[in-house]
Amino acid sequence: MNARVIKHGTAKGKALVSTQSISFFGGVDPNTGKIIEKGHSLEGKSIAGKILVFPCGKGSTVGSYIIYRLKKNGKAPLAIVNKESEPIVAVGAIIAEIPMVDQVNINKIKNNADVIINGEVIEWKN
Amino acid sequence: MQLTHEEQNVLNGEEGPGKQKAMEILVALGKIYNATRLFPIKSVQVAGVSYNNLGDAGLEFLQQWANQNAKASVPAMLNPAGMDLKNWQNQGITKQFAEKQQDVIHAYTQMGIKPDCTCTPYLIGMQPEYGQHVAWSESSAVTYINSIIGARTNREGGPSALASAIIGKTPYYGLHLQENRQPDMLVKIKTDLKNSVEFSALGYHLGKNYPEKIPYITGIKHATQSKLKALSASIVTYGGPPLFHIENITAEAKKKTVKKPEKQNMIDEKDIKKAIQEINDSGPIDLIFLGCPHCSLEELEKIALLLKNKKVHKETWIATARKTMERAKHKGIIKPIETSGAKVVCDTCVAVTPLKGRFHGLATNSAKACYYSRGTNALHCMIGSTEKCIKIATEENNEC
């Protein structure tokens, strides 16, 4: 299916799906790539090397820099897929050069699905 | 979003990776907010300056962008840094922090941005005109220039403001459009708001109870710049939009370009008292801070008068823009403040400087300072008038 491109690029990998929004500042450890927000459905899971699928970002705008730092530390996701993106994660993806698309029906993507992103085209196999 | 031929070229990277990144950010924001095009802006104010908030990630990002030869194409200033850029020792800042902070400033100046670090650029020569489009970040300044001056800006994040400075444009959406500047509700104030603290409390009440609703306020007969500055800072801190209108006082209400809504909400003395109570914590005070947003010349004058021939017995910081301090110094206003033992700190503020563990209880006249000192620096806070704060600073024999 076709998505909206936020940061152009290609990626191929396993999906890590969250039904909850993600705050990168305070919610993700920039050194390990692990979700550290208490009570988050992905708490303790690492986003490194995954196609990270979640509805949208939340929290402080410092989150954009955390995404950049994850990339520098080699702990960033391969790509980001949002239902409807907002500026914190969008800016983070651009400055960290992580492919990102949104306006995707993310409910249909299951955890561990094989996902391929190529520009505005996203495909997955659950 | 429709891009011009030139804009498309920049997006394709034909003018280098620095400008390409800036254009990518603006285009992404344009998509997210359904902007139809980019629009030229006259000035930019960039947040994301304190190393305390940026950390190494933010610093590395800025250095990389600066090294890609990205340069501001319109006048641009900075938000407060994590320390007084000249007298940081005076503030108890470590050398290690100071070096990192100077690196941040260096990256910005490399990009052609003036190292004027203030939340009040409109007090030091960067004052937009009525109806002018700009791209500013600092929430209190955004609210002040939108409301009091009638300039037009969204509340930009650090990177998006920087992207706008580099391109000289912003996506045309939100508060740049006339139809989005109309008030959502009418608010009648049924009490006389006496000082900046009570204007702060009004902002708290509005932001907390009516998030994202643009108010049209009636019942305020007169308001000094200082009071409007306090209201601007607090309404947006506590959840309100970065725009309000006050009958006969703010720019668009005076020009009648906005319509007075019909449905009316009342605010009385009880609401203001309750707001002040909610902002206050209890506990001993070991730091007095005035200047959130940065003190104007008039506010410094008042503080100097209150401190004249007195000594402070607790750590007392008066924050202002460096240029305002220089003007005040020239007028002999700084000397009585410093003679009292209080410190005049420039370029920084209590919300962005590292205080965690060094101080525990804050007295201030600013509701915004309370919010961010709690969050960033884990202080408990007391809000009181300038007079009350100075009284606490100069009192002897206090048990804390």
Would the CB atoms of B160 and A91 count as touching at under 8 Å?
yes
Query: What residues are paired with A2 via a beta bridge?
Result: A121
Architecture of the A4-125 domain: 3-Layer(bba) Sandwich (3.50)
- Check if the beta carbon of residue B16 is closer than 8 Å to that of residue B166: no
d(CA B178, CA B223) in angstroms, rounded, equals 25
pLDDT of res. B249: 98
Evaluate if residue B399 carries a pLDDT over 70: no
Measure CB to CB from residue B57 to each of A61, A68, A86 and give the nearest one.
A68
Contact residues, chain B to chain A, C-beta under 8 Å: 21, 24-25, 28-29, 31-32, 47-48, 53-58, 60-61, 65, 157-160
Would the CB atoms of A68 and B29 count as touching at under 8 Å?
no
Query: What residues are paired with A5 via a beta bridge?
Result: A101
- Do the domain assignments include residue B400? no
Phi/psi for B306 (5° steps) reads: -70, -30
d(CA A53, CA A17) in angstroms, rounded, equals 5
What percent of chain B has a predicted confidence (pLDDT) above 90? 91
What percent of chain A has a predicted confidence (pLDDT) above 90? 83
Token code pair at residue A97: 């050069």
Domain range spanning residue B242?
182-278
Residues in A 59-98 with any Cβ partner in B closer than 8 A: 61-62, 64-66, 68-69, 72, 85-88, 90-91, 94-95
Letter string b/e over residues B267-288, b meaning 16 or more CB atoms within 10 A of that residue's CB: beeebbeebbeebeeeeebbbb
DSSP designation for A4: E
Residues whose CB is less than 8 angstroms from the CB of residue A19 and which lie 6 or more positions away in sequence, other chains included:
A41, A54, A55
Residues B123 and B39 in one domain: yes
- Do the domain assignments include residue B74? yes
Burial class of residue B58 (count of CB atoms within 10 Å of its CB; 0-12, 13-18, 19+) = buried
What confidence tens digit (pLDDT) does each residue in B241-257 have?
A: 999 999 999 999 999 99
pLDDT of res. A63: 87
Evaluate if residue B43 carries a pLDDT over 60: yes
Residues B302 and B369 in one domain: yes
pTM (2 d.p.) = 0.92
Evaluate if residue B397 carries a pLDDT over 80: no
- Do the domain assignments include residue B131? yes
pLDDT of res. A61: 76
Residues B264 and B286 in one domain: no
Last-in-domain residue among B130, B161, B178: B178
DSSP designation for B112: T
Residues B12 and B140 in one domain: yes
Question: Where exactly are the structural domains of chain A?
Answer: 4-125
Query: What is the average pLDDT across B298-318?
Result: 97
What confidence tens digit (pLDDT) does each residue in A42-78 have?
A: 999 999 999 999 999 987 777 898 999 999 999 999 9
Say whether B268 sits in a helix, a strand or coil: coil
d(CA A101, CA A106) in angstroms, rounded, equals 11
- Do the domain assignments include residue B127? yes
What ipTM did this prediction achieve? 0.85
Residues B31 and B138 in one domain: yes
Residues B163 and B287 in one domain: no
- Check if the beta carbon of residue B61 is closer than 8 Å to that of residue B32: no
Q: Mean pLDDT across chain B, nearest whole number? A: 95
Q: Is A41 a catalytic residue?
A: no
Evaluate if residue A23 carries a pLDDT over 80: yes
Last-in-domain residue among B117, B147, B178: B178
Query: What is the average pLDDT across B54-68?
Result: 92
Contact residues, chain A, for B236 at CB < 8 Å: none
- Do the domain assignments include residue B399? no
Query: What residues are paired with A122 via a beta bridge?
Result: A117
- Do the domain assignments include residue B130? yes
Count, in order, helices (H) and strands (E) of chain B: 15, 14
Total domains in the fold of chain B: 3
Residues B110 and B174 in one domain: yes
CATH number of residue B374's parent domain: 3.30.499.10
Residues B261 and B315 in one domain: no
